[in-house]
Chain A
Amino acid sequence: MASLIDLANPTRFMRLSAALLPWFAAAAAVFLAVGLYLAWFVAPADYQQGETIRIMFIHVPAAWLAMMFYSMMAVSAFGTLVWRHPLADVAQKAAAPIGACFALVCLITGALWGKPMWGTYWVWDARLTSVLVLLLIYLGIIALWRVLDEPLRAARAVAILTLVGFVNVPIIKFSVDWWNTLHQPASVLRMGGPTIHPSMLWPLLILAIGFTLFALALHMLGMRAEIMRRRVRTLTILEAERLDRLAAQGAAA
Chain B
Amino acid sequence: MNGLIDSLGPHAGFILASYGSAALILTGLTLAALRDHAAQKRALDALERRGAGRQPGGKAR
Residues of A within 8 A of B (CB): 45, 50-52, 54-55, 58-59, 62, 97-98, 101, 104-105, 108-109, 112-113, 115-116, 214, 218, 221-222, 224-225, 228-229, 231-232, 234-236, 238-239, 242, 245
Contact = CB atoms under 8 A, between A and B. Distances in A.
Interface in B24-47: 25-26, 28-30, 32-34, 36-37, 40-41, 43-44, 47
Contacts of A113: 14, 18
A248 to B, nearest CB: 12
B11 A116 contact: yes
Given A108-B21, A228-B44, A245-B56, 6 more contacts: A55-B14, A105-B22, A109-B22, A113-B14, A218-B29, A218-B30
A51 B26 contact: no
Contact of B15 (A52, A221, A228, A242): A52
A225 B47 contact: no
Contacts, number: 97
Contacts of A98: 29
A221 B41 CA distance: 12
23 contacts: A45-B9, A50-B9, A51-B7, A51-B8, A51-B9, A51-B15, A52-B11, A58-B19, A97-B29, A97-B32, A101-B26, A101-B28, A105-B21, A105-B26, A109-B21, A112-B17, A228-B40, A228-B41, A228-B43, A234-B53, A235-B48, A238-B52, A242-B56
A145 to B, nearest CB: 13
Which 5 residue pairs spanning A and B have beta carbons closest together?
A228-B40, A239-B52, A235-B52, A235-B47, A225-B37
Size bracket, chain B contacts:
35 or more
Interface of B: 7-12, 14-15, 17-19, 21-22, 25-26, 28-30, 32-34, 36-37, 40-41, 43-44, 47-48, 50, 52-56, 61
Contact of A105 (B12, B25, B33, B41): B25
A236 B52 contact: yes
Contacts of B14: 52, 55, 112-113, 115-116
Contacts of B8: 51, 54
Nearest to B30: A218
A6 to B, nearest CB: 22
A207 to B, nearest CB: 11
Given A112-B14, A242-B56, A232 B29 contact: no
Contacts of A238: 52-53, 61
A221 B33 contact: yes
Contacts of B18: 55, 58-59, 108-109, 112-113
Contacts of B43: 228, 232
A55 B61 CA distance: 52
Given A229-B40, A232-B40, A239 B22 contact: no
A58 B22 CA distance: 8
Nearest to A21: B37
B21 A221 contact: no
